[in-house]
Amino acid sequence: MIGRLNHVAIAVSDLKAGIATYAGVLGAKVSEPQEEPDHGVRVVFVELPNTKIELLEPIGENSPIAKFLEKNPSGGIHHVCYEVEDILAARDKLKAEGARVLGDGEPKIGAHGKPVIFLHPKDFCGTLTELEQI
Ligand code: CO
């Protein structure tokens, strides 16, 4: 059902330092920062030949990644995102298998303007898992 790896998201407490690491030390192509107030994050996309890395920095008081950074002060892998062709069909299949979809279970528009859902880490090998319709 799942297709390509769309991105790996890494939470950072300091986006500028993260950009310096990826653009400077690692020599990758990094986008301009983009604010996503609905998701409580500021994000840059690291463009790799075969996938993307997203660096997420919390914004606002209730950012969903603030707690993650409290537990992982030096940052860390926050989630992985796989592509699916039909997000509603994928969601319904996973729910039928007993997997938990986070939030109200309805797809939201994600960082790339496409519908996404998030799946409970406990059902997916301890990893917060995003599905994005391509
Ligand atoms: Co993501």
Q: Is 34 helix (H, G, I), strand (E, B) or coil?
A: strand
pLDDT tens, residue by residue, 44-92:
999 999 999 999 999 987 898 999 999 999 999 999 999 999 999 999 9
Q: Helix-strand-coil percent breakdown of the chain, rounded to 5?
A: 25, 35, 40
Catalytic residue ranges: 130
pTM: 0.93
In the prediction, which pLDDT does 129 show?
Answer: 98
Distance of alpha carbon 105 from alpha carbon 117, whole angstroms: 7
pLDDT tens, residue by residue, 48-57:
999 999 999 9
Distance of alpha carbon 113 from alpha carbon 80, whole angstroms: 17
Q: Which two tokens stand for residue 61?
A: 């008081």
Pairing of strands 129-133, 41-47: unpaired
Distance of alpha carbon 129 from alpha carbon 78, whole angstroms: 9
Question: How remote is the CA of residue 56 from the centroid of ligand 1, in Å?
Answer: 9
Name all domains of the chain by residue range, CATH numbers in brackets. Answer: 5-133 (3.10.180.10)
Question: How remote is the CA of residue 24 from the centroid of ligand 1, in Å?
Answer: 23
Question: How remote is the CA of residue 63 from the centroid of ligand 1, in Å?
Answer: 14
Question: How remote is the CA of residue 83 from the centroid of ligand 1, in Å?
Answer: 11
Identify the residue whose tokens are 């690692």.
Answer: 26
Distance of alpha carbon 62 from alpha carbon 42, whole angstroms: 13
